[in-house]
Amino acid sequence: MAELLTRIMPNVMERYSDLLLATGETLIMVLIAGIISVILGALLGIALVVTGTGQLYENKTVNNFLGKIINTVRSVPFIILLALLVPFTRLIVSTSIGLKGALVPMIVGITPFISRQIEQAIIEVDKGVIEAAQAMGLSKPQIIVRVMLREAMPGIIRALVICIINLIGLSAMAGTVGGGGLGDFAIRYGYTQYMQDITVVTVLILLLLVNSIQGLGNYVIGKLSH
Amino acid sequence: MIDLKDLKKTYELGKLKVEALKGVSLHVDKSDIFGVIGYSGAGKSTLIRCINLLEKPDSGSVFVNNQEITALPEGELCKARRKIGMIFQQFNLLKSKTVFQNVAFPLYRSGLSKNAVREKVENLLEMVGLEDKATAYPSQLSGGQKQRVAISRALANDPQVLLSDEATSALDPQTTQSILSLLNDLNKKLGLTIVLITHEMTVIKEICNKVAVIDDGLIVEQGDSIDIFSKPQHPTTQRFIASVFQTERIHEIVSQPQISDLLKANGVVARLLFTGESANNAYISQVSRNFNININVIFGNIEIIQSLPIGSLFVVFNGDPVNIQAAINYLQIEKVKITFIQNSDPYLISEAI
């Protein structure tokens, strides 16, 4: 078996442990960036909804300000954002390379996207239900947590799945600035050294990763939707 | 129980200003089922939403149970709202929660133990006849069942007042009936004060003991249902009442050939309105015998308002004009309300009388 594998993909078998390491790095990048940006994105998404017209904490100035910032960041391509953010990254994590250096641009890049997705999910919660909660005597924070977030949960999970999948893509690009991971691995060996089998295997691993996340997401959404 | 004093509310939609309420005052007694009826855009929805301040009036005050709701700070308002239940046209149940969880929802942080909550929710579900649906989700229920869940949820905090915002408007007539009789039962059993708004006179007819008619942001008429049904004063009220008795159909009917033949023979078309006691007497046969005239009933109906019958009959009197006059005088003495149908038809002699 090992012999057969070595014949089909000699370079992969030779750098077997490096590949595992790279996969681990990708997972860590996606996990950490995912957790932080989901929290930030959720807060921003909620803020975008509740400051909107006719909402619980209506505030045009804040709403406009948040909207503009999010749109601005979203309009910069990620690869340019990587370069643009170098001074900021240094300021925050005192380095612009390695895992830490990759995380900051990943978070900045994905958070506006997540917040728009979460905003969309929350805004679709039936206004009548929010009104009913007000009539029942729930306070505004209670309505946000117990009604808006709860009722929007299937939509939020759907948004998260899309975002995590996007993050995997971003991690491949961020990896090239020194974060490591599968992207870096594939570029370094598969692209620059013409090791085609490494590129193919990397793609297969990413395929598996994306599908597992999508599958898990669909399962959770199925459990939550009635 | 509920006092609304000079409520005013104007919406600004860009440059357009819409005066939804132009100074509305209402008084609702304890255990009333108070109906507010109006056409869409009359301001009735704004009015009911002002009672629990889902809509903040520009001026005026709201008192519920001697507490001035309009003067309460945010936190106190939340507390006060727990004692004012509300149900909606679109039910507004939480989709992500089961029937049980929906009813238990307002009891969160109410200080009740888990077992007490369970017992309470089970009792509430039993009261609305849905004890077997506790684990179902709203999407698995029919409209009528959803409204029953909404009613038991609205009653979870033992409110003294229930506000009903077009609660039966999305339901079919049969389900509407069953929801209305449920509300009626709750009113009798718990002494619950109910304020409901509707655009259907049949809803008022079914359960309300008092009615207010709202038109263009103002209450144009209010009083006991039986009075409003038997003696409507304002044109809007008259139009609503006419829809129940289908009085507008008389003109269509008098133009039919068979009827106009009757009229040619010196007929007088009139509407006789019997209320309360007079609805039970055999006036038609009695009068026709005693005054030697023929009375043809063209069409009519009897409605039961607050367990009192109101009968509306369209009849044609035929015979000697002197006898007809005498019969009409007699009926008027007997407190039967008579209106003559004015019609361009030259054969009508109503003006002559």
Query: What average pLDDT does the segment A159-180 reach?
Result: 86
Rank A12-16, A213-217, B266-270 by mean pLDDT and report only the highest: A213-217
Asked which of A57-61, B254-258, B263-267, B335-339 is least confident by mean pLDDT, the reply is B263-267
Nearest to A151 among B78, B95, B106 (CB): B95
The model's confidence at residue B350, banded by pLDDT at 50, 70 and 90, is: very low
* Main-chain phi, psi angles of B196, to 5 degrees: -130, 145
Among B78, B124, B157, the strongest candidate for a mutation testing the A interface, having the largest count of A CBs within 10 A, is: B78
The model's confidence at residue A158, banded by pLDDT at 50, 70 and 90, is: very high
Nearest to A132 among B78, B92, B157 (CB): B92
Number of separate domains in chain B? 2
For residue B137, the chain A residues in CB contact (below 8 A) are 226
Are residue B152 and residue B240 in the same domain, yes or no? Answer: yes
**Which pLDDT score, from 0 to 100, does residue B264 have?**
66
Taking a C-beta distance cutoff of 8 angstroms, is the pair B321, B266 a contact? yes
**Which pLDDT score, from 0 to 100, does residue B347 have?**
41
Taking a C-beta distance cutoff of 8 angstroms, is the pair B103, B156 a contact? yes
- Cα distances from B221 to residues A124, B50, B234, in angstroms, run 40, 20, 7
Q: How far is A155 from chain B (nearest CA, A)?
A: 12
Q: How far is A205 from chain B (nearest CA, A)?
A: 35
Among A130, A220, A226, the strongest candidate for a mutation testing the B interface, having the largest count of B CBs within 10 A, is: A226
In sequence order, what DSSP letters do the residues of B195-259 get, joined into one string?
A: EEEES-HHHHHHH-SEEEEEETTEEEEEEEHHHHHHS--SHHHHHHHHHHHTTTHHHHHHTSHHH
For residue B52, the chain A residues in CB contact (below 8 A) are 135
CB contact under 8 A, B157 and A153: no
Are residue B150 and residue B162 in the same domain, yes or no? Answer: yes
Are residue B119 and residue B188 in the same domain, yes or no? Answer: yes
Burial B194-230 (b: 16+ CB within 10 A, else e): bbbbbebbebbbbbbbbbbbbbebebbbbbebbbbbb
- Give the end of a domain, one of B216, B244, B272: B244
For residue B154, the chain A residues in CB contact (below 8 A) are 136
CB contact under 8 A, A128 and B138: no
User: Minimal CA–CA distance to A144: which of A172, A169, A119, A181?
Assistant: A119
Nearest residue of B to residue A128, measured between CA atoms: B92
Taking a C-beta distance cutoff of 8 angstroms, is the pair B225, B306 a contact? yes
**Strand-strand pairing, B33-37 and B193-198:** parallel
Nearest to B96 among A135, A136, A153 (CB): A153
For residue B105, the chain A residues in CB contact (below 8 A) are 136, 146
* Main-chain phi, psi angles of B128, to 5 degrees: -100, 5
**Residue found under tokens 């013409």:** A194
Strand ranges across the sheet with B294-305: B294-305, B308-318, B268-275, B337-340
CB contact under 8 A, B93 and A226: no
Are residue B263 and residue B154 in the same domain, yes or no? Answer: no
> CA dihedral in degrees (A132, A134, A136, A141; nearest 10)?
120
Max intra-chain CA distance, chain A: 71
Taking a C-beta distance cutoff of 8 angstroms, is the pair B138, B99 a contact? yes
pLDDT at B248 over 80: no
Nearest residue of A to residue B92, measured between CA atoms: A129
Query: What average pLDDT does the segment A169-173 reach?
Result: 87
> CA dihedral in degrees (B74, B75, B80, B81; nearest 10)?
70
Rank B105-109, B178-182, B320-324, B334-338 by mean pLDDT and report only the highest: B178-182
**Structure tokens, B21:** 């309420």
The residue ranges of every structural domain in chain A are: 28-176
CATH of the domain at B209: 3.40.50.300
Are residue B88 and residue B210 in the same domain, yes or no? Answer: yes
Nearest residue of B to residue A127, measured between CA atoms: B92
Q: How far is A225 from chain B (nearest CA, A)?
A: 7
Q: What amino acid occupies position B289?
A: R
Nearest to B92 among A128, A153, A154 (CB): A128
The stretches of chain A forming alpha helices (DSSP H) are 2-8, 10-14, 16-50, 60-74, 78-84, 86-93, 98-123, 127-135, 140-142, 150-174, 181-185, 196-224
Residue A184 forms contact with B (CB below 8 Å): no
- Quickly count: other Cβ atoms within 10 Å of residue A4's Cβ: 8
CATH of the domain at B275: 3.30.70.260
**Percent of the residues in chain A that have a pLDDT greater than 70, as a whole number:** 100
**Which pLDDT score, from 0 to 100, does residue B349 have?**
40
Which residues lie below 8 Å from residue B33, measured CB to CB, with a gap of 6+? B183, B184, B187, B193, B194, B196, B207, B208, B209, B210
The pTM (predicted TM-score) of the whole model is 0.83
Residue A128 forms contact with B (CB below 8 Å): yes
Paired strand residues for B195: B34, B163
Give 3-state DSSP helix, strand, coil % of chain B, rounded to 5.
40, 30, 30
**Which pLDDT score, from 0 to 100, does residue B265 have?**
64
* Main-chain phi, psi angles of B61, to 5 degrees: -135, 155
For residue B153, the chain A residues in CB contact (below 8 A) are 136
Query: What average pLDDT does the segment A131-156 reach?
Result: 93
Asked which of A112-116, B51-55, B191-195, B243-247 is least confident by mean pLDDT, the reply is B243-247
Q: How do residues B249-305 score in pLDDT, each as one tens digit?
A: 777 777 777 777 766 666 788 888 888 777 777 888 888 899 898 888 888 888 888
Taking a C-beta distance cutoff of 8 angstroms, is the pair B221, B242 a contact? no
- Residue pairs spanning A and B at CB distance below 8 A: 65
**Which pLDDT score, from 0 to 100, does residue B314 have?**
86
* Residue B186 lies in domain: 2-244
**Which pLDDT score, from 0 to 100, does residue B307 have?**
80
**Percent of the residues in chain A that have a pLDDT greater than 90, as a whole number:** 54
Strand ranges across the sheet with B193-198: B84-88, B161-165, B193-198, B33-37, B210-215, B218-224
Among B95, B108, B152, the strongest candidate for a mutation testing the A interface, having the largest count of A CBs within 10 A, is: B95
Taking a C-beta distance cutoff of 8 angstroms, is the pair B106, B95 a contact? no
**Which pLDDT score, from 0 to 100, does residue A47 have?**
96
For residue B84, the chain A residues in CB contact (below 8 A) are 135
Are residue B97 and residue B64 in the same domain, yes or no? Answer: yes
Are residue B307 and residue B169 in the same domain, yes or no? Answer: no
Nearest to B96 among A136, A138, A150 (CB): A150
**Which pLDDT score, from 0 to 100, does residue B346 have?**
39
Q: How far is A29 from chain B (nearest CA, A)?
A: 33
**Percent of the residues in chain B that have a pLDDT greater than 70, as a whole number:** 94
Q: Is B297 exposed, middle or buried (0-12, 13-18, 19+ CB in 10 A)?
A: exposed
**Strand-strand pairing, B337-340 and B268-275:** antiparallel
Among A136, A151, A221, the strongest candidate for a mutation testing the B interface, having the largest count of B CBs within 10 A, is: A136
Residue B60 DSSP label: E
CB contact under 8 A, A128 and B137: no
Distance of CA A181 to the CA centre of its chain: 16
Residue A150 forms contact with B (CB below 8 Å): yes
For residue B167, the chain A residues in CB contact (below 8 A) are none
In sequence order, what DSSP letters do the residues of B27-55 get, joined into one string?
A: EE-TT-EEEEE--TTSSHHHHHHHHTTSS
Are residue B176 and residue B296 in the same domain, yes or no? Answer: no
Q: How far is B210 from chain A (nearest CA, A)?
A: 24
- Quickly count: other Cβ atoms within 10 Å of residue A147's Cβ: 24
Taking a C-beta distance cutoff of 8 angstroms, is the pair A155, A77 a contact? no
Q: How far apart are CA B259 and CA B28, in angstroms?
A: 46
Are residue B208 and residue B265 in the same domain, yes or no? Answer: no
Query: What average pLDDT does the segment B146-164 reach?
Result: 94
Are residue B40 and residue B84 in the same domain, yes or no? Answer: yes
Q: How far is B207 from chain A (nearest CA, A)?
A: 24
Are residue B11 and residue B97 in the same domain, yes or no? Answer: yes
Distance of CA B15 to the CA centre of its chain: 35
- CATH code: domain A28-176 is 1.10.3720.10
Are residue B189 and residue B80 in the same domain, yes or no? Answer: yes
Residues belonging to chain B with any Cβ–Cβ distance to chain A shorter than 8 Å = 52, 54, 74-75, 78-82, 84-86, 88, 90, 92-97, 105-106, 108, 137-140, 150, 153-154, 157, 163
- ipTM value: 0.81
- Give the end of a domain, one of B214, B244, B274: B244
Taking a C-beta distance cutoff of 8 angstroms, is the pair B226, B278 a contact? no
CB contact under 8 A, A137 and B95: no
